[in-house]
A and B are shown apart, each in its own frame.
Chain A
């Protein structure tokens, strides 16, 4: 038997042992990042009903759109984890929506070089469903200086929160934008300064509609879009978004614009 044949067999054996399906995109980081972000020995299936959408190329490496549209996903959504394989720190976000009935989540990311992108969804049986996309990119998005610094009054605009509330086919859609540099800590002499925690809250309920942690791949001035099944909250003030950055700043507002 040739050396290569043996290697191939070993690889197949290893994959079978790990219980992982074959990566549809053939990335060398498939197993490594699954283990890193979902855990060791987890059950994984490749499933395009997760509904990951990313553009085929990054027009702007510092702002690449991503959405996970779960409208075709037949199971309950416990968690959503997204990452960009080839980024210095691949993780984008980790969202927990056990009580919310999440049907869509969207956030822009940075890309350092052409990369596969993953969205993994944990169902009620404890199985992770993964969908993948690929983004071509000139790159450099993670180590590019932030845009906001070039605007002279960024310190006045820092922390500006804008929100919107929409009804979409009986579902509740929330949009929130925050002006924040989201410094990843990967640009020389600029320390990490980013929003790490996001929560969507509903008045009169202890359970969160969504709780989310963000990581280094998240883009500057984040624009969050969330959609939840059914009508949530009666009046617009019933829903609110809360965020906290690593310097302790908190940003909070009712969804739909009423100042609190």
Chain B
């Protein structure tokens, strides 16, 4: 075969492969993103929309958290809005398919993007947050947004940071015939809202509780402060615990695991600092077997060491 013919054939082959590649990428980018949310009733009039326990990825679009909604005689109370505008819209459609009541209050438990970035889908005057959370969202929102575009890509299309204009105060919130107990805690971000529906006993623990998913620490004021609040949560009259991340439980397993994990994590950092270990050594710490069911523990340990270890180190050193 002459060189000319061979090169022509090769060219034709390259062109067809390139065309196929173009088609495939076009199909991939053009495919409409769809969160496929489902609502599970955990008590009469109370639903949970459960996400996975994975990390943010372009495959899951950040659907890694639990949101929920509560139907009352007056209207619907929504807990968190999800990681993106698209999620928020799918979530609102889902709520409207379950109840004819209007959405009257959307309680955003804290300022993290996976919980607060679906807010565009809801009427602005229904969005509520703790004052400190709103300040944190104002401060960190744009940086979170940039990071989310990097992590989940096209799922973020059209998402903008909305800081709720309305505020919630700790205490009881009467909505129709339901009494919601609103509790302000600090452990996860410094401003974390926990919601207990007193009639059903469903506790929306937000990210104060992770279950079978390693907790995240970028804004915690301290692991032991978080751990002490775990005791307060465990004493509430709950029947169902909805963690911010991880499966819904009807007993205190999630609290026990959180308590154990927080004490372990604090202990790893304190004892490592006392031995003079460097951060690069601490990130390789073995995860105990009893946390085998806790997804992402090794990964989150690397993050937590980055967030917290320098404080432990500093405390363990002597001033010259």
Q: Which residues of A are interface residues toward B (Cβ below 8 A)?
A: 53-57, 59-60, 63, 65-67, 69, 104, 106, 108, 138, 160-166, 168, 173-177, 221, 223, 225, 253-254, 256-260
Q: Is B31 an interface residue (CB 8 A)?
A: no
The 3 closest A-B pairs by CB, nearest first: A257-B318, A253-B320, A67-B280
Q: B266-286 toward A: CB 8 Å interface, digit per residue (1/0)?
A: 000000000111111101100
Query: How far is it, in angstroms, between the C-alpha of A258 and the C-alpha of B318 when the chains are bound?
Result: 8
Are A177 and B314 in contact (CB-based, < 8 A)?
Answer: yes
State how many angstroms separate the Cβ of A65 from the closest Cβ of chain B.
4
A-B contacts, 16 listed (Cβ < 8 Å): A54-B280, A55-B280, A55-B302, A55-B306, A56-B302, A65-B305, A104-B278, A163-B320, A164-B316, A174-B276, A225-B277, A253-B320, A257-B317, A257-B319, A258-B320, A260-B320
Interface flag for B307 (CB, 8 Å): yes
Counting CB contacts under 8 A, is B303 at the interface? yes
B313: Cβ under 8 A from any A Cβ: yes
Interface residues on B, range: 20 to 34
Smallest Cβ-Cβ distance to B276: which chain A residue: A166
Q: Find out whether the CB atom of B318 lies under 8 angstroms from the CB atom of A162.
A: yes
Are A53 and B281 in touch, CB under 8 angstroms?
A: yes
Q: Is the CB of A164 within 8 A of B280?
A: no
Q: A175-B313, A223-B313 are in contact. Are A168 and B278 (CB under 8 A)?
A: no
In the complex, the chain B residue whose C-beta lies closest to that of A173 is B276
Q: Is the CB of B302 within 8 A of A59?
A: yes
Q: Give the shortest distance, in Å, between B22 (CB) and chain A (any CB).
A: 24
Q: Who on chain A is nearest to B281 by CB? A: A67
A133 (CB) vs chain B CBs: closest residue? B280
**B293 contacts the other chain (CB 8 A):** no
Q: Is B34 an interface residue (CB 8 A)?
A: no
Q: Once the chains bind, are B307 and A65 in contact (CB under 8 Å)?
A: no
B147 within 8 A of A: yes
How far is it, in angstroms, between the C-alpha of A167 and the C-alpha of B134 when the chains are bound?
Answer: 47
Task: Report the separation of the CA atoms of residues A57 and B147 in the bound assembly, to the nearest whole angstrom.
Answer: 14
Q: Is B310 an interface residue (CB 8 A)?
A: yes
Cβ of B167 within 8 Å of any chain A Cβ, yes or no, is: no
Partner of B280 from the list A106, A173, A176 (CB cut-off 8 Å) is: A106
Name the one of A59, A161, A173 contacting B303, with C-beta atoms under 8 angstroms. A59
Distance between Cα atoms of A240 and B206 in the complex (Å): 49
Q: Name the B residues within 8 Å of A53 (CB-CB).
A: 280-281, 283-284
Asked whether A225 and B318 contact (CB < 8 A) given A59-B302, A60-B306, A138-B147, the answer is: no
Chain B residues with Cβ below 8 Å from A108 are 279
Residue in A55, A138, A177 whose CB lies within 8 Å of B317: A177
Question: Which residues in B have their C-beta under 8 angstroms from that of A57?
Answer: 302
Given contact pairs A63-B306, A104-B278, A177-B317, enumerate 15 new A-B contacts (beta carbons under 8 Å): A53-B280, A55-B280, A55-B283, A67-B281, A161-B319, A161-B320, A164-B316, A164-B318, A165-B276, A173-B276, A177-B314, A225-B276, A254-B320, A256-B318, A257-B320
Most buried by A among B279, B303, B313: B279
Interface: B250 (CB within 8 A): no
Instruction: Please tell me if the beta carbons of B306 and A175 are within 8 angstroms of each other in the complex.
Output: no
Q: Which residues of A contact B277 (CB under 8 A)?
A: 225
